[in-house]
Amino acid sequence: MALCVGCGSRTLSESTEPEITRATGESEQISKRERQVPRGDGRLSHDLDPQRPGPQDACGVFGVWAPGEEVAKLTYFGLYALQHRGQEAAGIAVSDGSGVVVYKDLGLVAQVFDEPTLASLRGHLAIGHTRYSTTGGSTWENAQPTIRANTAGTTIALAHNGNLVNTAELARDAIERGMDSDGSTSDTALVTTLLASRPDLSVEAAALEVLPTLRGAFSFVFMDETTLYAARDPHGVRPLVLGRLERGWVVASETAALDIVGASVVREVEPGELIAIDEHGLRSARFAAPEPKGCLFEYVYIARPDTTIAGRNIHAARVGIGRRLAREHPVEADLVIPVPESGTPAAIGYAEESGITYGAGLMKNPYVGRTFIQPSQTLRQLGIRLKLNPLRENVRGKRVVVVDDSIVRGNTQRAIVRMLREAGALEVHVRISSPPVNWPCFYGIDFATRAELLANGLDNEGIRRSIGSDSLGYVSLAGLIAATEQPKTRLCRACFDGEYPIELPAGNLIGKHVLEGVDRRVAGAGAEEVASAGATRGPGGQPFVSSSSGGEVSSHA
C-alpha cells in the first residue's frame, strides 16, 4: 500500500511489499500496486458528516540535513508534531547520496510508518509531508513527497504546503515541454515535473528559474541526492522556519516541530527566499522581492498553540483575541466555556478580561474523527454528540458564554447551543474569535464554497437566529489583527474581507480538481475555451469559484 521510489537499486525491505517505481523520465512499474483500503483520517472535524466538513487544515512539511543522524526518524517525529495540518496521507523521502527513496501512503503518520519501515529509510537527508488535499483529490497517487528524475540522472523529491493559483497555466508549460504527469493531479507533482524539465541546469539553478513563474501560496521543502532545499513564496502566506541541530539543519512548517526534534529556532525562511543546505553549509538566494502577506487564519485556528509565527506565540495571540472579544462584546453571564480545543485560549482570555468564571462545559471524545463509515440517519440526528457532550452539572441553571474559533456553515454552533439548552443552561451566548468568514481561501485552507458560508447573505442577527443563541459576537477584524501584533499590510485577510493579495485566474482555472483532465483540455485550447462562465467575482473584481463551478475551493497539501 505504500510507495517506494528509488534511484539506483535501493528499495525497502521486501516485507513491506510496496509498489516500487524507479524515478526516471518514464516511470517503470516493477510490481502491481496492492489494493487500497480506505481508512479514517483521524481528524476531529467540525461536523459529523464527512461529506460536509468544516475548515480543513493546511499541509505540514519537514526537512532535515544531518549526517550521522537517523533522519527518517527525525522526520517522522517532525511530521507527528505537524499532524494537525493534514490527515489524509503522509510520506518521507530519504537520500544517502546515491539515490532517493520515497515511502508514502494514505492515512495518519502513525498509520503509514512503523519501526521496520523507518529503519529501512537510511540516509543523511530527508523530507516529509502530511497532507490535506487541495489541488488534486485525496488519492494515493497524489500523496507526497512527489518525485521525478531528469534525463541527467538527478532525482528530485518535493513536498508542498500552500496552493498555487496558476496551475492550469503551469500544466500547459509542462505539456509544451513534453513532460508527462506521471498519473498525479496535484500542483506539487507539476512543480516537481517543471524542476526536472531542465536537465541542463543544477536543481538549484532550475529552482531559481521555476519559482518566479509560480503564483499562489507555497512553502516547499525539496531535495536531490545531496542537497536539502527550502523555498517560500514572495508573500510568505504559509509559515516555514529554519532550525539548527548539533550536527545539521531542519526546516519545518511550524516551530513546534523544531522543538519536538530538539532543534533550535534560527529564523523564518523569508518570503521570496530559496535556501540550499549541503556539505558546504547553508546558502541563500532571492528569487523574488518579498511582499509579506502571512495568513491571518493561522493565528485563529491552523497553527499549534505552542508555535511562534513572526515572533508572536500563537497561544498568547489567541488569549489576546479572547480579551479583545470580551471588550467588544461584553455580556452578563455566570460561566465562560470553550469549544475544545480550538476555542480554549480565546475562552481563557475572555474570562480573564470579563471577570466571569472560566470552566469546562463541553467534553470532547479525543478518539472520534472522520471515517469512511457514513453515519446513519439516527446518528445524523445525534449530530455533534459523538464528538462533544455537555457537562450537565456545570452548565445547569447558568448563563453560559461559549467561545469558538469560527463559524463556517453553522452546523456545529447550532448543535452546541441546542445541547447546552437541553443540559439546563438558562442562556447561551456565543462568542467567536474570528470575524465572519465571508470568502473562500485559494491559498491553503479548505473552507466551504461561498454559497455554503453562513455569513454570506446573513447579517449578525440572521446568524444568531440561525444557530439559536441568545446573543452572538464576533471579534472585529481590527481586533484580530491587533492581537497578532502584525501590521494589517503584512497579513492576508481574504477569507474575512475578500481582498486577495495574489491575483486569481478567471473562470474555472482554479480549484481542487483543475489538473484532473487538464491535459485533455489544454491541447489546442486557449484559456477562453477552458474557462467556464461559472465564476463570479468578489471585491475589486477578484474572481472566486462558486459552488456550481465543478469543485469545492480547497487548500493545499
**Cβ atoms of residues 504 and 546 within 8 Å:** no
Active site residue 7: no
d(CA 198, CA 201): 6
CB atoms within 10 A of CB 380: 11
Q: Phi, psi (5° rounding) for residue 65? A: -120, 110
Which of the following is catalytic: 1, 7, 59, 179? Answer: 59
Q: Is 295 annotated as a binding residue?
A: yes
Q: Is 492 annotated as a binding residue?
A: yes
Q: Is 405 annotated as a binding residue?
A: yes
Helix intervals (H) in 311-370: 314-328, 344-354
d(CA 208, CA 11): 31
Helices and strands of the chain, counted as H and E runs: 18, 28
Of 398, 405, 456, residue with least CA distance to 430: 405
**Cβ atoms of residues 381 and 409 within 8 Å:** no
Q: Buried b / exposed e across 289-317, counting CB within 10 Å, b at 16+?
A: ebebbbbbbbbbbbbbbebbbbebbbbeb
Helix or strand run (H / E) with residue 299: none
Helix or strand run (H / E) with residue 53: none
Q: Is 4 annotated as a binding residue?
A: no
| HEC readout, 366-432 | CCCCCCCCCCCHHHHHHHHHHCEEECHHHHCCCEEEEEECCCCCCHHHHHHHHHHHHCCCCEEEEEE
Q: Is 7 annotated as a binding residue?
A: no
Preceding peptide of 17 cis, ω within 30°: no
Helix or strand run (H / E) with residue 445: none
Of 224, 216, 219, 218, residue with least CA distance to 195: 224
d(CA 277, CA 145): 18
DSSP string, 531-543: --TTEEE-GGG-E
Q: Phi, psi (5° rounding) for residue 465? A: -65, -35
Q: Which residue has the cell 495571540?
A: 317
Q: Is 404 annotated as a binding residue?
A: yes
Helix intervals (H) in 38-108: 71-81
What one-character DSSP code corresponds to residue 35? Answer: P
Edge-to-edge order in the sheet of strand 264-268: 28-29, 19-22, 3-6, 100-106, 89-95, 125-131, 60-65, 248-252, 241-245, 264-268
Angle formed at CA 466 by CA 463 and CA 471, multiple of 5 degrees = 60
Annotated binding site: 295, 342, 404-405, 441, 492, 495
The residues annotated as belonging to the active site are 59
Annotated binding site for [4Fe-4S] cluster: 295, 441, 492, 495
Annotated binding site for Mg(2+): 342, 404-405
